[in-house]
Amino acid sequence: MSLIPFRTKRATGMEPGSLATLADFRNEMNRLFEGFFSRPLQTPSWFETVEPGRWLPAIDMSETDRQICVRAELPGIEPKDVDVSVSEDRLVIAGEKKCEKEESGEGWTHRESHSGSFSRAIPLPEAVDPAKVTARYDKGVLTVELTKSPTSTSRKVPVLAGSP
């Protein structure tokens, strides 16, 4: 006789709804850590390059049939201190958030914001036309709009039904 009232899987089986409950728990844990792990954590994706010691601005990226749009959170930056460069398959956002004289003095008891130089090379899903790129900075967010190259080899492949 077992001293521990431990129910085995064989005894209870997988009750209906238990998988949904597990999914709910997983989703709740994902939501709990969303704000923390959604940021780059100074660790780029495998296809990005970053120099050691630099911080990475967080980005959003989306695409339409004609455009790719990238937004980067860059609070406290002077537009002239941001350098945006584009090649056919890569967007590079680099610059420096300068620490003002009074910010480098004494009295700062708490520091959480990033400062200093930053550089992030972002691979693009399709080729773009480097001559048709716009960038604007508003309320601490840099928005870069890139026009896809007309010679892009990417195309939609229709999915046919049935066997070949």
Partner 1 sequence: MATETQTELTYRPNVDICDRGAEVLIVADVPGATPDAIDVSFDDGVLSVHAPVPARTLPGRSLRQEYGIGAYRRSFKLGEGFDASLISAECRRGVLEIHVPRLAAVRPRKIAVRTA
31 in contact with partner 1 (CB under 8 A): yes
For partner 1, which is the closer residue by CB, 40 or 130?
Answer: 40
The answer to whether the CB of 151 falls within 8 A of the CB of 127 is yes
The answer to whether the CB of 93 falls within 8 A of the CB of 133 is no
* Exposure class string for 1-39: b at 16+ Cβ within 10 A, else e: eeeeeeeeeeeeeeeeeeeeeeeeeeeeeeeeeeeeeee
For partner 1, which is the closer residue by CB, 13 or 140?
Answer: 140
107 in contact with partner 1 (CB under 8 A): yes
Helix (H) or strand (E) holding 142: strand 141-148
Q: How far is the CB of 52 from partner 1 (least distance, A)?
A: 20
Q: How far is the CB of 91 from partner 1 (least distance, A)?
A: 12
Interface region with partner 1, contact rule CB under 8 A, candidates 4-12, 14-22, 70-78, 87-95:
70-78
141 in contact with partner 1 (CB under 8 A): yes
Residue (of 82, 67, 63) closest to 138 by Cα position = 82
Q: How far is the CB of 28 from partner 1 (least distance, A)?
A: 11
Helix (H) or strand (E) holding 18: helix 18-37
Interface region with partner 1, contact rule CB under 8 A, candidates 19-27, 71-79, 83-91, 154-162:
71-79
